[in-house]
Amino acid sequence: MNPQYWLVKQEPEAYSWADLVKDGKTQWTGVRNYQARIHLRSMKNKDFVLFYHSVSDKKIVGIAKIVKEAYPDPTATEGDWVCVDIAPFKPLKNPVTLETIKSIPALSQIGLIRQSRLSVMPLSPEEFSTLCHLGGITL
């Protein structure tokens, strides 16, 4: 089965790419948006995830992988919320800024631009490949 591709957003002051690298893996908890929950439930082991620093940095900084599929979010006090576990895979050689992403016509429909408040979103294989290329990485 071919991997799927995703982008997750996180404020680096709360949890950064460096934190993920130091920890080796983490539970991706605290998502409280119904559409993002659907995306979390769709993630499969070994799917690729672009890690985006939001708010202060506004750039993609690394590639992670799903290492545990959706399960109940231990931080949820009510509701049917889920989380996944992610692990660092590879840092981008050249972080890809939001400004750069907005300047590439092939990325004009990416969720990061169309639904800027969504914290978990799918990427097409072409979008993922373009972003990795911009970041100096080939998979």
In a domain? residue 124? yes
Distances (CA, A) of 82 to 5, 41, 55, 85: 18, 7, 24, 10
pLDDT at 110 over 90: yes
What is the band of 134 on the pLDDT scale with cuts at 50, 70, 90?
very high
**pTM attached to this predicted model:** 0.96
Which CATH number fits the domain that encloses residue 113? 3.10.590.10
In a domain? residue 60? yes
In a domain? residue 98? yes
What is the band of 1 on the pLDDT scale with cuts at 50, 70, 90?
confident
Count of domains for the chain: 1
pLDDT tens digit sequence for 74-101:
999 999 999 999 999 999 999 999 999 9
In a domain? residue 139? no
Distance of alpha carbon 75 from alpha carbon 7, whole angstroms: 21
Average pLDDT over residues 37-49: 98
What range does the domain containing 61 cover? 5-134
